[in-house]
Structure 1
């Protein structure tokens, strides 16, 4: 009986060992091939001690053990992580009892250095000619890095989902036929839609639900999905709730092996920006109109000063001239009282002349200033005019 149990297994072990030697000490570095040998007690249908009787050298790369440290010394479940050992052991024995093959059996194992290694195990029963279970042969694959990558991808996906859900812009993902695959809450807010109203629907079915330049939007979308350059556009829309928005779509094609398979639209709400731009334009227009009025007023002022300068300046020269002649005695001596009157006339006329000159100069962008000639010597007036 013992020979009938061992011979098929030993023959397989011999063949596997030969293959391992021919391939340089291990079959494939990712795989650790094994054999389990069940030992039955009288009256028992399940094995009590499923010993490992063969392992390829790849087990050292996976778990840090030499094959000789495990073969004939450890059961298949001895290296399971303690917290799940009994649970996984029970699941394995149930499979053994049914003499079934199994695949994708995920089991955490303890590395020799104390670390955790995640293995994916597949196994096939070895039966004799009467269908009695002789053992199992199988393979372990180290999927630790795959698991880490999967966790990283899951974490990345969660971060992406958070951004996708919370971003201030509306996002819509569609296929190359413009059928909507995914949207975020902001996009639903723009349109006043529910998720059920848009997912799986073509954009042609959705746009009539809002007020917008539908023909223009569809024309641009059609060109874009064909790979044409479409430039930047702004659209005014009124959604189902009557809310008005100004939106600016930013587009990106999805390609697979060079073929356009879809597109992502990021819809930016520029309503407040456009409102601010309109207010700035209005203020600018008002400022320009005010400037034009000021220019006209300045022109009127200049014309007025020119008239005043001419109409007042001409008689003022005569007044000053005659007053000076009388004070100089050209018409004979004059009484002191009349002289004081003439001095007042001359002084006030000079002041009025200076005021007219100052107004004329400043109206033409010039300036006037007084400079002292020295103590008791009076002042002189200097003025500048732009060229």
Structure 2
């Protein structure tokens, strides 16, 4: 009875399970079928029991099973089939899974156990899971699911990418032991246990760090919640996180920046204030209080107009009112009331707008222009006085605007007397200032104005008078620059020198010989130069000579001996020249030789012979010493004037490098002046020259460049001779004005060198010796290779020598400390390559 009862219970269970069960005998007849299999076959169990599964075509279950059934029976092996499409009579297509197990007796087929399962739901579930996983993987945030023990059961693609791990390297791992910094892991794990047990709750949003596979620490902002089952029991936690590492870094930088700006405002010399929407003070800088001579308490809360002079209040009110309109900024000049009286301030206003596009606050930056205003009043008075002088002067005073359009802005009445054109004619035709220039001088005049380099000395220009006559003028012009350093206008004075020029031309024509030396004079030389400057006479060579120490000889032995020396020089030159060569006395102590059809190498031989002959006079009472320079015009395209200039430059360069007499050498004279003013010492200059040349050799500079370097080492600070000694020996900090004066010495040095033919070739080097490699130096802000290499070398050598030798304002440092300082400023103040060459040289 018990067995029967158990059989019935077992049959009931099998009959009601989800899978369909069919059992056949060895003849393929169904001996048992449960309710689920009958429903699949769309017949009753009674109809199906006894039917043959291999032959009955009307049974849906048989149709589904038959192919797989026959295979299992034939091979006597279990057959599995998954996701088989199946269409019943009253239902849509579903997916079935089969398992057919042959029953074997004595190695023969003895029936079949068939299990049919509807897997439509599972496949759909898997599909939904896949879709959900895809959604998680494309999410921009990190999604992590932890079980109750803190193990990772799910993590999306963003999370895996951030941690730099594969999915298999994360799933199942304890989150806190593997992905949280060790110093935070214990505390965070404890909080998680309390969270998962319901004893504690994470804030709505919280931050903690995670460690990536490469060891990088990232900051994540999390939101977490619990996952519960149908019974309300917590099974896991799910968290979404956003990587805020860059945001945190930016916040720290912003915090630092705000602190810097706060310090900047508090130490700013300009007046800084912030007003509310009603123009009441809500912030003032220390410099503001100092300027007004009032405390913060006396200013804050007061209206901006309270401290404005009554005559300026209307203008200031209009400026503040305009801030509500784009571009929300304005500038005004006004008088303000301080405890020390009235002062002038130039204010720059800028407003900030709220969401309603109304003024929320106003930032005011002011600058004391009291002295500027006083100067403007003085300038107006001076302008009136100078205008009166100009109106009554015999010279022509003019101002011409060049940009943005040509216009004559001022012209004194004397223009009519000199040129024949009235002031009004010039105003009506602005181009007349160019038109009256002689055709042969127009290019020179145009080049002069466009270059802005020839304004430091007067020049001569011919004008065409209204009646057709030629007027010679001597003009001094000053350029006016815009912020981009372009010449936008010129101020000038023109003087009629026609009578002087006529007299000069007459004298030039009548006098061709020097009465003392019996040589040709310069006038004749220039006439011959015009005649010989033809292709037929090429190569045309030029020798320039300058007698050294003539003034010393005149002062010591008298002018008679000086005259004798000049005659001896003339005879010496004659002895080495041919009949067709032109020898002339170029100036007071200068001689020139023009050699037609003479190559440069032969000219060099003549110079060599003259020097050798001079050296043989060393034992004479008055030895002959001449500085010589040469140049040759070898093709027609070369400008003869440029050739002459080259010869002069070579002569002056030779003269500067030949230091036989302090009185007879410009370099020695200037060097002596520097030493006398105690700017430099001879030892400092000698050390600089030696070290600079050594570095120049390491950089493979040419001999000419090394000569320039040697000369620059001596004269780089020549501009200091015009600056007061007090500024260079002053102890303590220099004022801005004093520092600006000192910073002008490169430009002054440039002007000195530029005005001297002997030094013109190093003028730009002198100008640039305080430029910085990164462009932050002065005066022109040159950088890198824009700075002449000689200037870059001198800058470094000077700095090194100053640091390693005691100065009036500080003690010397060691070589190592000096080299370290140079390396520290490499690529900013100094050329890194030259710094390395210096280090190699010192070591």
Is the structural similarity TM-score above 0.5? yes
TM-score of the superposed pair, with normalisation by structure 2 = 0.28
1:119 aligned to 2:220?
yes
Once the 2 structures are TM-superposed, how far is the Cα of residue 36 of structure 1 from its aligned partner? Answer: 2.3
Question: 1:105 maps to what in 2?
Answer: 206
Give me the whole-angstrom Cα distance separating, in 1, the residues matched to 2:276 and 2:262: 19
Alignment partner of 2:372: what SS?
helix
Question: 1:31 maps to what in 2?
Answer: 141
5+ residue gaps, structure 2, are 1-123, 395-497, 512-843
Instruction: Tell me which of 315, 321, 325 is aligned to 1:227.
Output: 325
Question: 1:135 maps to what in 2?
Answer: 236
1:166 aligned to 2:267?
yes
Contact 2:274 2:284 in 1 (8 A): yes
Instruction: Tell me which of 131, 138, 152 is aligned to 1:21.
Output: 131
| Structure 1 stretch displaced more, 258-267 or 118-127 | 258-267
Cα RMSD (Å)? 4.3
Once the 2 structures are TM-superposed, how far is the Cα of residue 258 of structure 1 from its aligned partner? Answer: 8.5
Instruction: Tell me which of 69, 72, 80 is aligned to 2:180.
Output: 80
Once the 2 structures are TM-superposed, how far is the Cα of residue 138 of structure 1 from its aligned partner? Answer: 1.6
Give me the whole-angstrom Cα distance separating, in 2, the residues matched to 1:232 and 1:103: 49
Contact 1:208 1:214 in 2 (8 A): no
- Change in CA separation of 1:277 and 1:195 when aligned onto 2, cut-off 3 Å: same
Question: 2:258 maps to what in 1?
Answer: 157
Instruction: Show CA shifts across 1:91-125 (max 9, x none).
Output: 55555562324333211211112222111122123
Give me the whole-angstrom Cα distance separating, in 2, the residues matched to 1:183 and 1:277: 29
Once the 2 structures are TM-superposed, how far is the Cα of residue 279 of structure 1 from its aligned partner? Answer: 4.2
5+ residue gaps, structure 1, are 1-13, 39-48, 296-364, 375-387
Question: 1:242 maps to what in 2?
Answer: 340
1:186 aligned to 2:287?
yes
Instruction: Tell me which of 365, 368, 375 is aligned to 1:269.
Output: 368
Give me the whole-angstrom Cα distance separating, in 1, the residues matched to 2:293 and 2:125: 69
Give me the whole-angstrom Cα distance separating, in 2, the residues matched to 1:17 and 1:166: 67
Give me the whole-angstrom Cα distance separating, in 2, the residues matched to 1:59 and 1:115: 14
Question: 1:216 maps to what in 2?
Answer: 314
Alignment partner of 2:274: what SS?
strand
Instruction: Show CA shifts across 1:256-285 (max 9, x none).
Output: 569243433222221232233344445556
Alignment partner of 2:175: what SS?
coil
- Change in CA separation of 1:15 and 1:196 when aligned onto 2, cut-off 3 Å: farther
Alignment partner of 2:376: what SS?
helix
TM-score of the superposed pair, with normalisation by structure 1 = 0.56
Determine which structure has greater relative contact order: mean sequence separation of CA pairs < 8 Å that are 6+ residues apart, divided by chain length.
1
- Change in CA separation of 1:209 and 1:255 when aligned onto 2, cut-off 3 Å: closer
Once the 2 structures are TM-superposed, how far is the Cα of residue 71 of structure 1 from its aligned partner? Answer: 2.1
Contact 2:220 2:243 in 1 (8 A): yes
Alignment partner of 2:291: what SS?
helix
| Structure 1 stretch displaced more, 282-291 or 241-250 | 282-291
Contact 2:330 2:348 in 1 (8 A): no
Contact 1:249 1:267 in 2 (8 A): yes
Once the 2 structures are TM-superposed, how far is the Cα of residue 74 of structure 1 from its aligned partner? Answer: 2.0
1:56 aligned to 2:156?
yes
1:69 aligned to 2:169?
yes
Contact 2:323 2:351 in 1 (8 A): yes
Alignment partner of 2:180: what SS?
coil
Give me the whole-angstrom Cα distance separating, in 2, the residues matched to 1:55 and 1:96: 18
Give me the whole-angstrom Cα distance separating, in 2, the residues matched to 1:181 and 1:27: 51
- Change in CA separation of 1:108 and 1:231 when aligned onto 2, cut-off 3 Å: closer
